[in-house]
Each structure stands twice: as structure tokens, then as C-alpha cells.
Amino acid sequence: MVPAVNPPTTSHHVAVIGAGAAGLVAARELRREGHSVVVFERGNQIGGVWAYTPNVEPDPLSIDPTRPVIHSSLYSSLRTIIPRECMGFTDFPFLTRLENRSRDPRRHSSHSEVLAYLRDFAREFKIEEMIRFETEIVRVEQAGENPKKWRVKSRNFGDISDEIYDAVVVCNGHYTEPRHALIPGIDTWPGKQIHSHNYRVPEQVKDQVVVVIGSSVSGVDISRDIANVTKEVHISSRSTKPETYEKLPGYDNLWLHSNIETVREDGSVVFKNGKTVYADTIMHCTGYKYYFPFLDTKGEVTVEDNRVGPLYKHVFPPALSPGLSFIGLPWQVIPFPMFELQSKWVAAVLTGRVSLPSLEEMMEDTKMFYSKLEASCIPKRYTHLMAELDSQFVYDNWLADQCDYPRIEKWREQMFYKVFKRIQSQSSTYKDDWDDDHLIAEAYEDFVKFPSNYPSSLIEREYTS
Ligand code: FAD
């Protein structure tokens, strides 16, 4: 029998932008595949969004383009939406650590526990040695003399570096550049406005009447966070019927309304349901924009109405592949395992172990995807939203198949469905009250495959009993 001959593979010099969860796992996968990696991180620590800071930007709406940017958008009380068993990387479970009593054992843990987990991950896989901290990427473009290479300019305080890389992997996150609601009459409305990016603690709005725009999980979470110290909280939702006016359970000062119709000079806020409130503050929980101020692709990649495109499978711009790629764009997903699978794919494509289709085929696939969205009346801004519950797992499994890696575990999928249902049916208690212990037990049976630096005696067994 003639032995199978593997195609020749090539290692590359790769720049990774950002040392959040996506950049960390991208660096690990790229190095595992044999590439040499430099991770550029403008902050002074790893963790990205999870590196909570009490500091906020001076412009509470974050509109001024010259403002000093604070990266993290987390508020002090934030606990994870996704349960920890589900949330971790596939081969480095996000377990409770018993040896250190400062760690948070809860299933939906505090943000500091997620940061501690990411630090464990970085330590275990020696990722910090690849990172240049306090080094901001200021420009990325194809190298003029050789368009297959990338010119990467970075700034470390006053020093500018100009280097050439074979590939650039963009992992700069997408929860820092706020989107705002357009509100009729807002120019003369006398109250305060703030975007949730700059919300940290309830005391910021103590004793006030607050209108929160947006009824996403974060909007509702923040509304509950402030309801205990404010006079009233009124959530304005664009996804309810115009006549909606409901008191939300568990509070006597928290209401759900339809959209805002207008705001007026006298401080009033009029909702489409006909109700009027006099508010001190409007809080925009209206999400974020994809933003790549450093990237110059001569128009090959654009951001239009929050669609980053054209991108093959949300990762590779066909005309610039495989040298440029993006990790972490899809949302309403379990992020870490998806980052991991996207990173494995990018790393394997760069070595040549896995091939991409031709430029024409990738363009065709991307165009078909966009046509499908249009035919289903899904706006451009939802291009990267994995809205249907199972679409992220179809996507994850497609990535896994490309790399010959195991598909997403059934328990993880089911746990995600379960938490989504719980958020809808018990939005104020879902983080502490659950009915999927059998899935937790299944997860822990899988986790013993990855002992890593977690001696079994230190694993919190509470959930498996
Ligand atoms: P980030 O964590 O944002 O990291 C990007 C990094 O890039 C940052 O460190 C930044 O400093 C760096 N950077 C940016 N620009 C540059 C530049 N020009 N040069 C150099 N460095 C740069 N996910 C969950 O799994 N579970 C949850 O419960 C959950 N809750 C969330 C709640 C909120 C309020 C928010 C905002 C997000 C939540 N997420 C949650 C999603 C979270 O964003 C992802 O889990 C994940 O951490 C994103 O990682 P990232 O690496 O893509 O981006």
C-alpha cells in the first residue's frame, strides 16, 4: 500500500491584535500549528472585556472620537450570562478552584472569576511570553512591495514600530464602540444621557427616574441592578407591541414600555404606548459597533450597518485570505469555544494543512449568505448574529470538521438552550436556580479528560453530586 503523503506545510510570522479571550486562544492555536506569534495588546494586562475597571470615559455617551478610550464595558455586579461549564474553552474547562478561597465558585460567576480563569489559561499555555503589552496597533495594511505580506504599525507610548508579518489575525473585540438610539427631540431634552459602556455602579443614578433603552439581556440586567436605588426604572423596548406597558415581577418600580415616541424640553419622555414619565437620565443599552480604526484594506473589507464584509464564514475576507482574518465577530453565541474553533481553522489554513475554496467560491458562498439574510428580511446589522438557537452549533461543528477536531459536546449545546429558556422564563433568578444538574454531571464526566493543571482533588465536586 502506498502511504498517504501529507501536503507540505508552512509556518508563518503572525501578528495577533488583542489579548482578550479571542487573542489568547488564537495565539495558542497558531503556536501549536508551528507559527511564530506576536500578540499586540494596548492594555497592560490580558482579559480584554473581562479586565473590569471602575474608570469610565469622560464623555458618558462615548461619542467624541478624540476621547481616551476605556476598553471594558463591564459593570461591577456583572455575573456571567452563560454557565461556567458551557463557557470555557473545550480542552481547558472553566472549573471552580478550591485551592484559592478568593475565587468565586458560583455557576454564573462574577467577572473577576472569568478574568482569573483567563489568567490560568494564559499561564498554563505560556501565552504571556508572546504578548507585547501597552502596545497599540495603529495601522495594518498590505505591504506595498509584496501584497502577500502585511505592514503592521504599533505604538508603545512614544515609540512607533513598523514591521512586516505574513498574516494578521484581528481579535480586537466588539464591545467598546457604542451604538446609540436616535430619539426625536433629544437635542433639547435637558436630562443626562449615558451609554451602558460607561455604567459601573447603581449609585451613578441613585434616587433618579431612569429610562433604559434596550431590553436585551444586558439592558434588563442593568435595570434590575439600578432598580434597588432609583425612584423608578422604565425600560423602552423596540421588540414589544406598541401598547406594551407592564410592571416587571420582583420590583415595584420597574416597568416595561414600547419604544420612545419623543422626548421634550420639559424633561418628559413619551412612549409609543401613550405613557409619559419625567426622567433624570436616559441610559442607552443599545449595543456596540464593529470598529477597526487601524485597518486599511483599500475597500476590500468594509463595515456597513454593522456588517463586516465580505467575509467567508465570518472569518476570511476572500480577496485578502488567508493573510487577514477576524476571530470573534459572531454574537449571541458561546464565545470561547467558538473563538477556539475559528482559531484552529485560521492556524491550519495558514500552514496549508487545511485549504480554503477558491476566491470565486468564497465570494459566491458569502453572496449567497447575504442574499439569504435579505430574503428573510434580516437587516444587515444582524449579519453576525447567530439568531436561531442551533445556527451557532451548525457553524461551530462546520469549523470543527474543517480542522478534524471533535464537534461541540451535546451537553454544551443542551445547556445553552436551557439557559436561554431560563432567561426568558425566570429572568431575575436564572443565575441561581436551575434544573439541568444532569447536564452538569455529563460535563464533569467529560472534564476528567483534561486534567491539565487542575488536580482532581481541587475540583469543586458540588455540582456533580
Ligand atoms: P475583548 O475581550 O474585547 O478583547 C479585545 C482586546 O483587544 C482588548 O484587550 C483590547 O485592549 C485589545 N485591543 C483593541 N484594539 C487594540 C489595538 N488597536 N491594539 C492593540 N490591542 C487592541 N461572554 C461569555 O462567554 N459569557 C458571558 O456571560 C458574557 N457576558 C458579557 C457581558 C457583557 C456586558 C459584555 C460586554 C460581554 C459579555 N460576553 C460574555 C462576551 C465577551 O465579550 C466575550 O466573552 C469575550 O470576552 C470577547 O473576547 P474578545 O477577545 O473577542 O474581545
Q: Is 80 in the pocket of ligand 1 (CB under 6 A)?
A: yes
Q: Is 50 in the pocket of ligand 1 (CB under 6 A)?
A: yes
Residue 163: count of CB within 10 angstroms of its CB: 13
Report pLDDT for 456. 47
Per-residue confidence at 111, pLDDT binned at 50, 70, 90? very high
pLDDT tens for each residue of 208-244? 999 999 999 889 999 999 999 999 999 999 989 999 9
Report pLDDT for 451. 63
Cell triple for 281: 437620565
With 70 as the cut, is the pLDDT of residue 405 above it?
yes
pLDDT tens for each residue of 331-381? 999 999 999 999 999 999 999 999 999 999 999 999 999 999 999 999 999
With 60 as the cut, is the pLDDT of residue 465 above it?
no
User: What is the number of the ligand 1 atom nearest to the C-alpha of 174?
Assistant: 3
Among 153, 172, 326, the mutation site with the greatest number of ligand 1 atoms within 8 A of its Cβ is 172
- CA 274 from centre of chain: 36
CA distance 383 to 304: 10
User: What is the number of the ligand 1 atom nearest to the C-alpha of 136?
Assistant: 19
Averaged pLDDT for residues 175-200: 97
pLDDT tens for each residue of 244-261? 999 998 899 999 999 999
Per-residue confidence at 414, pLDDT binned at 50, 70, 90? very high
Cα of 175 from ligand 1 centre, angstroms: 6
CA distance 234 to 247: 9
User: What is the number of the ligand 1 atom nearest to the C-alpha of 74?
Assistant: 34
Q: Is 169 in the pocket of ligand 1 (CB under 6 A)?
A: no
Among 29, 49, 80, 141, the mutation site with the greatest number of ligand 1 atoms within 8 A of its Cβ is 49
Cell triple for 25: 486562544
Cβ proximity of 462 and 96 under 8 Å = yes
Q: Is 131 in the pocket of ligand 1 (CB under 6 A)?
A: no
Alpha-carbon torsion angle 78, 76, 189, 267, nearest 10:
90
Q: Is 343 in the pocket of ligand 1 (CB under 6 A)?
A: no
One-letter amino acid of 166: D
Averaged pLDDT for residues 154-158: 95
Cα of 82 from ligand 1 centre, angstroms: 15
CA distance 165 to 104: 40
With 70 as the cut, is the pLDDT of residue 58 above it?
yes
Closest CA to ligand 1's atom 44 = 335
User: What is the number of the ligand 1 atom nearest to the C-alpha of 46?
Assistant: 9
Cα of 174 from ligand 1 centre, angstroms: 7
Per-residue confidence at 5, pLDDT binned at 50, 70, 90? low
pLDDT tens for each residue of 59-76? 999 999 899 999 999 999
Of the listed ranges 139-148, 268-277, 330-339, 355-364, the least confidently predicted one is 139-148
State the pTM of this model. Answer: 0.95
Report pLDDT for 449. 84
Distance linking the first and last C-alpha atoms of the chain: 51
CA distance 459 to 99: 9
Cα of 255 from ligand 1 centre, angstroms: 30
CA distance 37 to 210: 47
Cα of 20 from ligand 1 centre, angstroms: 6
